[in-house]
């Protein structure tokens, strides 16, 4: 019989047990298990800087251009559409950069893909849906070639894709002059409007009836013709949201997403544990080509024409959006959500600056400053993460 009615085994010593318990309480906790503040957790998220920057940009333009119509329905659609176009490119560029590679041919691919839609449909009288399919196949094959050359030669992707930047831009210009004797081809929008598949997926806006109802209810502007000033949501926005959701889910919740992070972190270590490094990287080059072609198809169907000089500097804007979104230039760390917020910052500033008295010449200065701040912040976060491991 023990103390106070408690039963102990014959070998047990209550006083010793109490002393051991006190000793255990005094021991330091395992350094591998430690509490982290909610702010520290947020700070370690790759998209934290982009979300914070987005809030700051909205506050600045809310005070500086809040009464100018920038945040009316038509203004929102304007900067959302600009952000959506860049967001399509940023999703592909972000995932490729997380895997440790770059694609500088994104902008040239836009011009090339747009011409591959316009030339067959306007001059060879292909159904535009078939021309769009041809553009996607050609673009993705070129993306696969990009990736294959990078993996086969082991040259930096910067060099290989820089070569394709010039090749595709020159090829687009040469083909447009050869077949059309001009660098701008019009009439694509009318063809897209008459084609059921192209009109459904790429041309015009969605939810036209709903926006008409909103205008009649006083939400939005109703024109004298009875049509709303904002006829609907541009389809590029829906494509952007869908692609961003898929990209974020794949990166965060699937084995393929883990492969992307592992390949960007240490390709040799990833290969040693069975990750198909070459296949992952080549597939991501195909993805960036797909995103560029999607950008081109939506733009051609929306504007109604293709031009050989479309997509100039879009590769750099996509990289800027991804870096602002928390993606490291060295690979292995990043966020699709953050890249989309980076694209949103781009769209809001580019359109919002026209609603203020500030000269649009300062737009590039702002982008450069944002890029520098994002790189410094990402370096700080990466150092915190490395020290915590």
pLDDT at 2: 47
Can you tell me the distance from the alpha carbon of 103 to that of 90, in angstroms, rounded to the nearest whole number? 11
Q: 284 vs 99, 234, 318, CA distance in Å?
A: 8, 27, 15
In order of 99, 202, 319, 367, the CA distances from 371 in angstroms are 20, 32, 10, 6
Query: pLDDT class for 212, splitting at 50, 70, 90?
Result: confident
pTM: 0.85
- Residue 155 is classified by DSSP as -
User: What topology does CATH give the domain 48-378?
Assistant: ABC transporter involved in vitamin B12 uptake, BtuC (1.10.3470)
Task: Quote the tokens at residue 127.
Answer: 């159904």
Q: Where are the domains of the chain?
A: 48-378
Contact (CB, 8 A) for 293 and 113: yes
Q: pLDDT at position 36, please?
A: 55
Q: pLDDT band at 222, cuts 50/70/90?
A: confident
Instruction: Look over the chain and give the mean of its residue pLDDT values, rounded to a whole number.
Output: 84
Q: What is the pLDDT of residue 3?
A: 47
Residue the block writes with tokens 């809310």? 62
Q: What is the structure's pLDDT at 9?
A: 52
User: What's the pLDDT band for 1 if we cut at 50, 70, 90?
Assistant: very low
Query: What is the Cα Rg of the chain in Å?
Result: 27
Strand 233-234 relative to strand 205-206: parallel, antiparallel, unpaired? antiparallel
Q: Which of 117-121, 155-159, 293-297, 330-334 has the lowest mean pLDDT?
A: 330-334
pLDDT mean over 317-328: 89
Which of 15-29, 179-193, 280-294, 314-328 reaches the highest mean pLDDT?
A: 280-294
Maximum mean pLDDT: which of 14-28, 57-71, 166-180? 166-180
Give the residue with greater pLDDT, 185 vs 382: 185
pLDDT of 307 > 90? The answer is yes
C-alpha angle with apex 237: 236 to 240, nearest 5 degrees? 85
Cα separation, 99 vs 385, whole angstroms? 18
What's the pLDDT tens digit per position in 111-169? 999 999 999 999 999 999 999 999 999 999 999 999 999 999 999 999 999 999 999 99
| Separation between Cα atoms, residue 61 and residue 52, nearest integer Å | 14
pLDDT tens string 2-43: 444 445 455 555 555 555 554 555 554 554 445 555 555 555
Sign for the pseudo-dihedral over CA of 141, 111, 367, 64: negative
Distance CA 153, CA 8 (A): 73
Separation of first and last alpha carbons in the chain = 50
pLDDT at 382 (0 to 100): 63
Q: Which segments of 119-254 does DSSP mark as H helices, in order?
A: 128-153, 157-180, 188-194, 196-201, 208-216, 235-253
């Amino acid at each position: 019989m023990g103390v106070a009615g408690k039963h102990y085994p014959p070998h047990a010593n209550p006083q010793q047990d109490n002393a051991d318990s006190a000793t255990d309480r005094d021991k330091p906790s395992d350094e591998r298990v430690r509490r982290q503040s909610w702010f520290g957790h947020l700070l370690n998220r790759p998209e934290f800087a982009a979300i914070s920057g987005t809030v700051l940009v909205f506050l600045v333009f809310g005070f500086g251009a809040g009464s100018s119509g920038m945040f009316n329905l038509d203004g929102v659609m304007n900067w959302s559409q600009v952000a959506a176009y860049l967001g399509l490119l940023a999703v592909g560029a972000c995932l490729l950069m997380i895997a440790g590679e770059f694609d500088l041919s994104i902008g040239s691919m836009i011009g090339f893909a747009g011409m591959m839609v316009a030339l067959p449909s306007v001059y060879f009288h292909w159904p535009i849906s078939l021309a769009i399919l041809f553009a996607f196949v050609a673009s993705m094959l070129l993306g696969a070639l990009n990736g294959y050359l990078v993996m086969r030669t082991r040259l930096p992707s910067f060099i290989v894709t820089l070569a394709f930047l010039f090749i595709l831009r020159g090829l687009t210009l040469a083909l447009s002059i050869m077949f059309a004797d001009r660098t701008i081809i019009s009439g694509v929008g009318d063809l897209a409007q008459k084609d059921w598949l192209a009109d459904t997926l790429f041309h015009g806006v969605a939810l036209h009836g709903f926006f008409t109802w909103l205008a009649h209810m006083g939400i939005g502007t109703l024109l004298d013709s009875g049509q709303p000033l904002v006829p609907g949501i541009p389809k590029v926005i829906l494509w952007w949201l869908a692609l961003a959701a898929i990209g974020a889910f794949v990166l965060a919740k699937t084995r393929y997403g883990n492969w992307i992070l592992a390949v960007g972190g240490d390709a040799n270590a990833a290969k040693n544990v069975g990750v198909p490094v070459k296949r992952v990287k080549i597939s991501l080059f195909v993805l960036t080509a797909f995103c560029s072609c999607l950008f081109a198809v939506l733009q051609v169907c929306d504007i109604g024409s293709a031009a050989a000089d479309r997509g100039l500097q879009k590769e750099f804007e996509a990289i800027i959006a991804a870096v602002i979104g928390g993606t490291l230039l060295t690979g292995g760390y990043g966020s699709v959500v953050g890249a989309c917020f980076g694209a949103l910052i781009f769209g809001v500033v580019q359109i919002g600056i026209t609603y203020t008295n500030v000269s649009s010449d300062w737009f590039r200065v702002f982008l450069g400053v944002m890029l520098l701040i994002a790189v410094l912040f990402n370096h700080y976060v990466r150092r915190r993460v490395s020290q915590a491991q």
